[in-house]
Structure 1
Amino acid sequence: MKVMAPIVKFDLAFSLFCLQHRFSSGFARASRIVSRTGDGHLYVLIGCLAYLLDDRYGQAFLLTGILAFIIELPLYWVLKNAFQRRRPHELSSLVQAFITPSDRFSLPSGHTTAGFLMATLLAHFYPSLTEPAFLWAFSIGIARILLGVHFFTDVLVGSLLGMGCAQFSLQLSELLS
């Protein structure tokens, strides 16, 4: 596809820029820690803590989060398997992957999708957390690039998917209540 060629070229150049320097292994160590916060366990903990500690918004936050992930997860898998985009280290021997990804394809980034979904929900229910929540989600996406398992556009699409699923869930929750 000629339309995708410039995007693939940019993505590969960006990955090489991020990963071919003397600090990449040091960044990878920090990126592993950041990336692990996007594995899913923390989202469950945040939802449960909100439910237990916040009488005003906790239940709505938890239920909207469950709805958002019920929508996001199948959509994510359909997109990932439809695009079947290979990971950066598979497209270029010059790109090193610092971790073994949990699945085969790279587009969209599931960690980034979930991070931006959670950041959007936190921003809606707890506006004072907007900046740290989105900084955290952005950091997860950057970590996935620095670990060599995602391209820039994987992270971009993941962020849009996460925010979109969260917004849709918020609107649906409002209609149902």
Structure 2
Amino acid sequence: MEWEFIVLDWFQSIQNPVLTKILGFVTMLGEAGWFWILLGVLLFISKKYRTCGVALLAALLLDLVLANMILKPLVARPRPCWIRDTVELLVRVPGDYSFPSGHTMASFAAAGALYFTKRVWGYWAMVLAFFMGISRLYFYVHFPTDVLAGLVLGLLCGYLGALFMKKARNTKFGKLYKEGLEHGEEKCL
């Protein structure tokens, strides 16, 4: 665990007002997953991109169950800012456990779902997800292994969300849905 504090202390050493502003905005996008949920809902209400929205929302649902309901309480890892409470935080102190990083996991779940359904969008979402993970280290609220686990598990949730959508399209309901679309409207998967 000591190497993780070395990484976190390095992020503390590069803090400056510009980075704090940028990464503060990025981390705010991840609060309660609101940005990704909103994106999923917007995609879902669009006939053209509905399958992307369903895959993204399914990935986020898997993420919620796995990260917040199972892993965080099970592992019960204290946050670095709880252990080293003398570090001055630039964000509010989170009240839940550290492992895995929820911001990172939700971001990579959404980015993964987009990647596996609409590859170009997925690339851009991966960039945002990467900076989401960096922001959690920068603000001293997660260990590097929390962020790494969030990345891996998030991508798994994204893959499973996309897989769920692909399987759902092959059901009776999915076939009826496809018949109702005009040719060329479906832009995902």
TM-score range, shorter chain: 0.7 to 0.9
Write the deviation string for residues 147-168 of structure 1: whole angstroms up to 9, x where unpaired.
Answer: 1111111110011111111112
Identify unmatched segments of 5+ residues in structure 1.
1-7
Larger displacement relative to structure 2 (23-32 or 160-169): 23-32
Structure 2 residue 11 is matched with structure 1 residue 18:
yes
Structure 2 counterpart of 1:71: 62
Asked if structure 2 preserves the Cα contact closer than 8 Å seen for 1:18 and 1:24, the reply is: no
Per-residue deviation, 1:98: 1.7
Letter in 1 for 2:100: P
- Matched with 2:41 is 48
Paired residues in the alignment total: 167
8 A Cα contact 1:116 1:162, kept in partner: yes
Q: Answer whether contact 1:88 1:150 (CA < 8 A) is retained.
A: yes
Match of 2:29 among 21, 26, 37: 37
Distance in 2 of aligned mates of 1:44 and 1:93: 32
Aligned position for 2:123: 131
| TM-score, with length taken from structure 1 | 0.84
In structure 2, the residue matched to 1:142 is 134
**Inter-partner Cα distance in structure 1 for 2:28 and 2:99:** 19
What fraction of aligned residue pairs are identical, expressed as a percent? 25
* Structure 1 residue 59 corresponds to structure 2 residue 57: no
Question: Mean Cα displacement is larger for which, 95-104 or 66-75?
Answer: 95-104
Q: Which runs of 5+ in 2 are unaligned?
A: 170-189
Measure the CA separation in 2 of the matches of 1:75 and 1:118.
14
1:108-161 deviation per Cα after TM superposition (whole angstroms, max 9, x unaligned): 000000110111122222222233211100000001111111111111001111
RMSD: 1.9
Instruction: Decide whether the 8 Å contact of 2:23 with 2:135 is kept in 1.
Output: yes
Any conservation in 1 of the 2:44–2:54 contact (CA below 8 Å)? Answer: no
Task: Give the residue type in structure 1 aligned to 2:13.
Answer: Q
The match for 2:168 is: 176
Question: Who wins on radius of gyration, i.e. which is larger?
Answer: 2
